[in-house]
């Protein structure tokens, strides 16, 4: 059988995207171990790091580097192996590859070459934190790492200030305090937030507090400024008595209303802004009444 890329799917190998633990080695799945032991080659973000993980589990599959600096150019090496029939596994240093980690270019190239790509799911810091945060989890957005400098960080935070979905950020420990300061300045003292630190490890912290208090908690304890961290911030909600739709959502709605029938404009605006359709529909009706 051949696919659109003319590749024989029965002879090409499979690229497995394999999640590894984010701290606690017991989080390695039985399937991940089976796949890593069974493939011809493991493409690893840092081979020295992954070799220790593999040794721990008694796996001696050969490793080759696949990191952000070589992934785009060297990807073809892995694709050649895959097309020749070898199975390859992709791993990063911790957690799920491609999630703030290398792998995107390799996965893209593999799919473009008609190679089957199979996820082997497991640990992921953002999902682990969200699952235990007690913040709304039905809809959320992952913002990855914020810019390192305050001006850039605040500018990015301003863009999501009125985002109604739960916000998730990765942050480096030496910037966690500045980051919380900027979040407090942009989102306000009272916005519910959570610091997920050293998840799955011995000194795990899951501290949920309003942003002002969370910043004070981290400032008062240098231990909270070490280790790996995820920050979750509750989405924006309209203060009681104020209109329930953000100014950005209303701006989008206005633009669409100028071009489209009311129902279609409200539906599209909902898709773009994440605000519920019926709320935007009501806002559009109110606008019509007032004109
Ligand atoms: N691919 C990984 C994943 O699936 O979560 C993320 C890799 S990214 C380079 C590393 C960042 O993830 C850290 O700086 C931190 O923000 C977050 N992270 C990774 N492990 C963590 C842990 N055990 N506890 C809290 N955050 C963690």
Look at the domain 14-123 and name its fold: Cobalt-precorrin-4 Transmethylase; domain 1 (3.40.1010)
What is the C-alpha separation between 276 and 279, in angstroms, rounded? 5
Atom of ligand 1 nearest to the CA of 170: 16
Question: CB-based contacts of 192: which residues, under 8 Å, 6+ apart?
Answer: 135, 208, 209, 210, 211, 233, 234
Per-residue pLDDT, averaged over 142-160, amounts to 97
- The backbone torsions φ and ψ at residue 283, rounded to the nearest 5 degrees and listed phi first, read -60, -40
66 DSSP assignment:
-
Q: Is the pLDDT of residue 9 over 60?
A: no
Confirm or reject: Cβ of 104 under 6 Å from ligand 1: no
Judge whether 182 and 211 are in contact, CB under 8 Å.
no
Q: Kindly report, residue by residue over 169-186, the tens digit of the pLDDT.
A: 999 999 999 999 999 999
Residue 6 — pLDDT band, cuts 50, 70, 90?
Answer: very low
Residue 4 — pLDDT band, cuts 50, 70, 90?
Answer: very low
8 DSSP assignment:
B
Judge whether 153 and 185 are in contact, CB under 8 Å.
no
Most confident of 66-75, 190-199, 280-289: 190-199
Confirm or reject: Cβ of 232 under 6 Å from ligand 1: no
In sequence order, the β-bridge partners of residue 90 are 17, 43
pLDDT value at position 149?
96
Judge whether 6 and 114 are in contact, CB under 8 Å.
yes
Judge whether 120 and 19 are in contact, CB under 8 Å.
yes
Residue whose CB lies within 8 A of the most ligand 1 atoms, among 19, 26, 95, 124, for a mutation test: 95
271 vs 74 pLDDT, higher one: 271
May I ask the CATH architecture of the domain 126-233?
2-Layer Sandwich (3.30)
Judge whether 209 and 217 are in contact, CB under 8 Å.
yes
Q: Kindly report, residue by residue over 74-115, the tens digit of the pLDDT.
A: 788 999 999 999 999 999 999 999 999 999 999 999 999 999
Confirm or reject: Cβ of 53 under 6 Å from ligand 1: no
Return the SS3 of 207.
strand
pLDDT value at position 290?
67
Q: Is the pLDDT of residue 190 over 90?
A: yes
Confirm or reject: Cβ of 96 under 6 Å from ligand 1: yes
Average pLDDT, the chain: 92
Q: Where are the domains of the chain?
A: 14-123, 126-233, 241-289
Atom of ligand 1 nearest to the CA of 99: 1
Q: Which of 184, 188, 283 is nearest to 237 (CA)?
A: 188
* Residue recorded with tokens 């606690």: 24
283 DSSP assignment:
H
Q: Is the pLDDT of residue 243 over 70?
A: no
Report the separation in Å between the CA atom of 76 and the middle of ligand 1, taken as the mean of its atom positions: 28
């Amino acid at each position: 059988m051949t696919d659109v890329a003319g590749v024989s799917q029965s002879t090409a190998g499979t690229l497995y995207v394999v999640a590894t633990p984010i701290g606690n080695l017991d989080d390695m799945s039985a399937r991940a171990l089976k796949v890593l032991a069974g493939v011809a080659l493991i493409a690893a973000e840092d081979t020295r790091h992954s070799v220790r993980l593999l040794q721990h589990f008694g796996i001696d599959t050969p490793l080759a580097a696949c990191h952000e600096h070589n992934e785009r150019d060297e990807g073809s090496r892995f694709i050649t192996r895959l097309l020749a029939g070898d199975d390859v596994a992709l791993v990063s240093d911790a957690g799920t590859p491609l999630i703030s980690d290398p792998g995107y270019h390799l996965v893209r190239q593999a799919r473009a070459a008609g190679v089957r790509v199979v996820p082997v799911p497991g640990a992921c810091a953002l999902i682990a934190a969200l699952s235990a945060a007690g913040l709304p989890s039905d809809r959320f957005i992952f913002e990855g790492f914020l810019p390192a400098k305050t001006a850039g960080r605040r500018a990015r935070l301003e863009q999501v200030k009125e985002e109604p979905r739960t916000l998730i950020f990765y942050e480096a420990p030496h910037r966690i305090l500045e980051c919380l300061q900027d979040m407090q300045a942009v989102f306000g003292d009272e916005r519910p937030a959570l610091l997920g630190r050293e998840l799955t490890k011995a000194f795990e912290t899951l501290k949920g507090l309003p942003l002002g208090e969370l910043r004070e908690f981290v400032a008062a304890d240098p231990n909270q400024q070490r280790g790996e961290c995820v920050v979750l911030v509750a989405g924006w909600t309209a203060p009681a008595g104020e209109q329930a739709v953000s100014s950005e959502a209303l701006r989008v709605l206005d633009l669409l209303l100028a071009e489209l029938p009311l129902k279609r404009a409200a539906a599209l605006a909902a898709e773009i802004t994440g605000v519920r359709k019926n709320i935007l529909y009501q806002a559009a009706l109110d606008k019509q009444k007032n004109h």
